[in-house]
């Protein structure tokens, strides 16, 4: 696939350039009717599949589960009407988050690095949900009719390149775009950002967070990047000004105090991300030790040290570091998953199985725990059981390409060749490679030629993917 295909550029430029909030149509008028909610849904899924196929992602089940559950918590109190959300967790240490049409929420790993509390993290996502609830994409189409396609493509080329990790080259591409077009985009963006801030503040308070977290996040970003020649992508698409901070601060102060500012679970997930972006586990361990020396009761630092030691194969010390956390909270999922990881890495499989079984009895539908069970079954060479466990997981995560990828691998190990090709087809469809997906179902049909019912089901699914491919190409052509 071409990373910067023109159709993708056109689509994402339309998403990135919203209209003025003071001149917004009602959802029933002619302008908003240019794109219906269902069209937004389909458009968003098409865009998501392309991003998944082109940008590296974080596949950590615990991080994915945290992002999903935290956004759904915010969505429950938001103005978002269609709760069919999909998520993409990008493997980038740069701070960024975004919302795309049809309920797509994207989060860079870097958001955890920069948002020092759960309230600050939630303020960013509440802001993005507000973009969705106000349908800023549909409401910006009228403005886009005044912009020439080459200008839109050039602007998005930089945005996609930066998201994919091109860094300075992506920012340079944005900077070199026609000045007048950029000015118009920023004019529209300021109005939309202000609306998303105000709606996001209300949502934060309703969800139980302290709304003051939003201006605090903005202030930190402005301080950190005040003298930066090349600001991060988040500040290019969400420009922060003194007036914007003052507006959100004044509005936040009108809410009663007492909302949640932080949580231990967020800090544990933050430690996982910090470890991901350290150069080595040893460097991470050194930093977590320093935090513990400063504050011996800092459980997140103790947890970070434990997982850094596990990653560095220092199992005995990791066990000693982790023990006080498990003693304090013996049923905590995150701590037990760390012990499961430790025992599995040390090849203590009976202890691993005992802990996995006990935790699944307590939390039978927890995604990371179920994934830990599957990983254990594979290490025990119980391939058939692992395949069944994955089939059960698929019932809850049908749109997760990471799960389909592993399903294909396990079906291959079990000798289920037809199922292998079917799983590969679903994986390729989710990452936007419809040609490969359709080809995999051709392979499956040939293998199933003696089973009429199975071959018919495969053929029906192939026709569905062919139609999805046609619709996607048609939508992206605009």
pLDDT digits 0-9 by tens, 48-80: 888 888 889 999 999 999 999 999 999 999 887
pLDDT over threshold 70, residue 187: no
* 224 within a domain of the structure (yes/no): yes
* 146 within a domain of the structure (yes/no): yes
**Are both 334 and 421 inside the same structural domain?**
no
What is the per-residue pLDDT for 258?
Answer: 83
Supply the Cα-derived Rg of the chain in whole angstroms.
Answer: 24
* Cα 290 versus chain centre, distance: 30
- Which tokens in the block code for residue 20? 């003025």
**Are both 101 and 200 inside the same structural domain?**
yes
**Are both 67 and 148 inside the same structural domain?**
yes
Domain that holds residue 411: 396-477
CA distances from 376 to 344, 354, 356 (A): 7, 11, 9
* 445 within a domain of the structure (yes/no): yes
Q: How many Å apart are CA 233 and CA 16, to the nearest integer?
A: 12
**CA dihedral sign, ordered 121, 89, 5, 174:** positive
Q: Yes or no: say if 192 and 18 are a contact pair by the CB < 8 Å rule.
A: yes
What is the per-residue pLDDT for 137?
Answer: 59
CB contact set of 458 (below 8 Å; sequence gap of 6+): 418, 422, 441, 444, 445, 448
* 3 within a domain of the structure (yes/no): no
pTM for the model: 0.85
Specify the long-range contacts of residues 366-374, CB closer than 8 Å, at least 24 apart: 366/65, 366/333, 367/61, 367/64, 367/65, 367/393, 367/396, 367/397, 368/61, 368/62, 368/65, 368/333, 368/337, 369/333, 369/337, 371/61, 372/337, 372/340, 372/341, 374/406
**Are both 158 and 62 inside the same structural domain?**
yes
Looking at every residue in the chain, the average pLDDT score rounds to 83
Q: What is the DSSP letter of 90?
A: E
Which of 342, 365, 388 finishes a domain?
365
Tell me whether residue 128 is one of the annotated catalytic residues: yes
Catalytic residue among 197, 332, 402, 426: 197
* 261 within a domain of the structure (yes/no): no
Q: Using 50, 70 and 90 to split pLDDT, how confident is the model at 193?
A: confident
Q: What is the CATH number of the domain that holds 334?
A: 1.25.40
Greatest mean pLDDT among 130-139, 160-169, 382-391: 382-391
Q: How many domains does the chain have?
A: 3
Which of 207, 237, 253 finishes a domain?
253
**Are both 288 and 208 inside the same structural domain?**
no
Say whether 120 counts as a known binding-site residue. Answer: no
* 382 within a domain of the structure (yes/no): no
Catalytic residue among 40, 68, 118, 128: 128
How much of the chain is helix, strand and coil, in % rounded to 5?
A: 70, 5, 25
* 4 within a domain of the structure (yes/no): no
Per-residue pLDDT tens for 95-144? Answer: 888 887 788 899 999 999 999 999 999 999 999 998 887 765 555 555 55
* 289 within a domain of the structure (yes/no): yes
**Are both 106 and 70 inside the same structural domain?**
yes
Per-residue pLDDT tens for 168-184? Answer: 444 444 444 434 444 44
Tell me whether residue 409 is one of the annotated catalytic residues: no
**Are both 150 and 208 inside the same structural domain?**
yes
Say whether 131 counts as a known binding-site residue. Answer: yes
Per-residue pLDDT tens for 195-241? Answer: 889 999 999 999 999 999 999 999 988 888 877 766 777 777 777 88
**Are both 140 and 288 inside the same structural domain?**
no
Say whether 136 counts as a known binding-site residue. Answer: no
**Are both 103 and 231 inside the same structural domain?**
yes
Which of 343, 365, 387 finishes a domain?
365
């Amino acid at each position: 696939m071409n990373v910067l295909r023109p159709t993708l550029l056109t689509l994402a430029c339309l998403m990135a350039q919203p209209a003025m909030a003071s001149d917004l149509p009602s959802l029933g008028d002619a302008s908003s009717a240019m794109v219906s909610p269902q069209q937004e849904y389909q458009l968003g899924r098409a865009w998501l599949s392309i991003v998944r196929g082109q940008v590296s992602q974080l596949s950590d089940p615990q991080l994915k589960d945290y992002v999903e559950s935290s956004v759904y918590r915010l969505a429950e109190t938001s103005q978002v009407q269609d709760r069919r959300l999909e998520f993409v967790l990008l493997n980038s240490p740069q701070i960024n988050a975004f919302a795309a049409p049809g309920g797509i929420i994207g989060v860079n790993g870097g958001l955890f690095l920069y948002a020092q509390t759960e309230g600050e993290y939630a303020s960013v996502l509440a802001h993005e949900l507000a973009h969705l609830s106000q349908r800023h994409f549909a409401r910006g189409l009228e403005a886009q009719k005044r912009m020439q396609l080459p200008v839109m493509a050039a602007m998005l080329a930089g945005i996609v390149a930066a998201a994919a990790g091109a860094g300075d080259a992506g920012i340079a591409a944005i900077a070199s775009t026609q000045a007048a077009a950029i000015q118009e985009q920023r004019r529209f963006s300021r109005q939309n950002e202000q609306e998303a801030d105000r709606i996001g503040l209300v949502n934060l308070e309703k969800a139980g967070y302290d709304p003051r977290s939003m201006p605090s996040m903005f202030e930190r970003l402005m301080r950190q990047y005040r003298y930066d020649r090349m600001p991060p992508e988040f500040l290019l698409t969400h420009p922060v000004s003194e007036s914007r901070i003052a507006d959100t601060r004044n509005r936040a102060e009108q809410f009663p105090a007492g909302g949640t500012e932080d949580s231990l679970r967020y800090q544990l997930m933050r430690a996982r991300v910090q470890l991901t972006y350290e150069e080595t586990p040893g460097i991470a361990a050194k930093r977590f030790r320093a935090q513990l020396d400063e504050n011996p009761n800092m459980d997140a630092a103790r947890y970070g040290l434990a997982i850094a030691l596990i990653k560095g194969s220092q199992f005995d010390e990791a066990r000693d570091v982790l023990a006080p956390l498990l003693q304090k909270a013996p049923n905590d999922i995150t701590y037990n998953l760390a012990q499961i990881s430790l025992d599995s890495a040390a090849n203590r499989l009976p202890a691993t199985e005992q802990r996995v079984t006990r935790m699944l009895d307590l939390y039978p539908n927890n995604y990371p725990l179920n994934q830990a069970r599957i990983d254990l079954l594979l290490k025990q060479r119980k391939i058939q059981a692992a395949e069944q466990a994955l089939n059960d997981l698929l019932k809850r995560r049908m749109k997760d390409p990471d799960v389909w990828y592993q399903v294909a691998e396990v079906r291959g190990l079990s000798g289920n060749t037809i199922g292998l090709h079917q799983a590969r087809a679903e994986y390729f469809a989710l990452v936007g490679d419809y040609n490969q997906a359709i080809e995999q179902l051709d392979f499956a049909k040939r293998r199933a030629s003696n089973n009429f019912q199975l071959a018919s089901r495969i053929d029906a699914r192939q026709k569905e993917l062919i139609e999805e491919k046609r619709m996607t190409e048609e939508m992206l052509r605009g």
